[in-house]
Structure 1
């Protein structure tokens, strides 16, 4: 099976979830985070969910990060397939992008090297930490700019696949993935 076929299957699986299931499972993921050894850093990168794509609702995790007084950094999609990163403050204005992603309009820019932990969106992951995203390569390019010791943690409603096909040299693996039922480490 090729990556494009796998993406369609993963999207179809996610689309079977009701909105109440998405909320309940997202809350379980955020609650699971509370008991994990993830909280010794200062700068935490968090993607904001696209509700129409039934992504893990990261608003619960955002509340956890704020409650732990962490510096939260949000991504924005920019020209030429790269992400820009902005520190979230009380003054940060969010806007829905053309891709349907809530993004900061402006604010204090942050470089990837400063990040301690990155919560990574995905469609699926495998037992060795490879992930499959939407196929634009935004996160792989971004993760390649982060420090080697920065933790890369995926969020998924579903457990791992045995293997994701066609892994490329530029694909950056995860250090862990949090599901409603388990924390996987790689």
Structure 2
């Protein structure tokens, strides 16, 4: 399927999820994170969900990371093409943007090259680790700023598509994708 068709399909599927089911699925995904071979790392980047788009609630994953004394970094949109990344601390204050994205107001910035693991929001992914988001390219540009060995973990409410037909050379594949039912592992070049 083409990206535009997948975006439409998965936006519709997501809109049919009840708040109770979203909570249950978010907890299942958070519990699966514990099984990944990522715990020797220190710097974990994670998105904060856009509630109106019924994105996975990452609060459980954040609690697990903080419980393991990991450095948790959250993004902030600073332009139409760029993200900035902030260390989550007890003093971090948040605001909600006009797009309903929760973001840190300010704080300690962390350069992308310092990151070890990145949890990535997505709408759909395929069986070889390609993913699609909303089509703005924020995460592809961000991932290009990271080290080549950064671990990329997608979080999805739905299982893998067979194939995304129109993958481009700028699309960066995942190492893992966690759904409420299964954890996918992908070989990356």
TM-score tier, shorter chain, comes to over 0.9
Mapped pair 1:70 → 2:95: no
| Aligned residue in 2 for 1:129 | 129
CA distance in 2, matches of 1:10, 1:119: 19
Moved more, 19-28 or 72-81: 72-81
| Aligned residue in 1 for 2:158 | 158
Mapped pair 1:143 → 2:122: no
Q: What SS is found at the alignment partner of 2:170?
A: coil
Q: What SS is found at the alignment partner of 1:106?
A: coil
| Aligned residue in 2 for 1:11 | 11
Aligned residues: 186
1:133-159: CA deviation from partner (whole Å, max 9, x where unpaired): 000000000001111111000001111
Q: Detail structure 1 runs of 4+ shifted over 3 Å in the superposition.
A: none
Q: How does 1:1-186 map to 2 (within 5 A)?
A: 1-186=1-186
CA distance in 1, matches of 2:80, 2:51: 25
CA distance in 2, matches of 1:122, 1:80: 18
1:65-96: CA deviation from partner (whole Å, max 9, x where unpaired): 11111000000111141110011111110110
Give the aligned CA root-mean-square deviation in angstroms.
0.9
1:27-70: CA deviation from partner (whole Å, max 9, x where unpaired): 00001111221211110000000111111110111111111110
1:79-125: CA deviation from partner (whole Å, max 9, x where unpaired): 14111001111111011012111100000111100000000000010
Unaligned runs of 5+ in 2: none
Moved more, 32-41 or 124-133: 32-41
TM-score, normalised to structure 1, is 0.98
CA distance in 1, matches of 2:85, 2:93: 14
Q: What SS is found at the alignment partner of 1:154?
A: strand
* Cα deviation, residue 164, structure 1: 0.9
TM-score, normalised to structure 2, is 0.96
* Cα deviation, residue 5, structure 1: 2.0
CA distance in 2, matches of 1:82, 1:107: 17
Unaligned runs of 5+ in 1: none
CA distance in 1, matches of 2:80, 2:141: 11
